[in-house]
């Protein structure tokens, strides 16, 4: 199983090439195989910008992932 490094996307340049570059660099630094990185690149470029973000979040942990984990579900605040 390949590592899932952390990449900061929130507050960073929203340029698709910048996102891919940061992600690929993080995957390399984490020791991911060339095949894994090539699979990310192929999948990330197979659609639009939203696809790029979905695929990136599949391959790395992002600030948004961590924020989502820390936020309680809306149902936690609802009363019967």
Cα dihedral: 61, 67, 72, 75 (round 10)? -80
- The mean predicted confidence, pLDDT, of the chain is 82
3-state secondary structure of 40: helix
- Phi and psi at residue 7, in whole multiples of 5°? -130, 130
| Residue 9's pLDDT band (cuts 50, 70, 90) | confident
Q: Look at residue 8 in the predicted model and tell me its pLDDT.
A: 85
Q: Look at residue 32 in the predicted model and tell me its pLDDT.
A: 96
The total number of residues written for the chain in this structure: 80
| pTM score of the predicted model | 0.74
The answer to whether residue 65 scores a pLDDT higher than 70 is no
């Amino acid at each position: 199983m390949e590592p899932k490094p952390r990449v900061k996307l929130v507050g960073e340049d929203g340029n698709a090439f910048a996102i891919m570059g940061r992600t690929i660099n993080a995957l390399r630094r984490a020791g991911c195989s060339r095949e894994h990185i090539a699979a990310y690149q192929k999948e990330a470029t197979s659609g639009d910008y939203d696809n790029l973000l979905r695929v990136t979040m599949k391959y790395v942990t992002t600030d948004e992932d961590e924020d989502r984990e820390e936020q309680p579900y809306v149902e936690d605040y609802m009363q019967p």
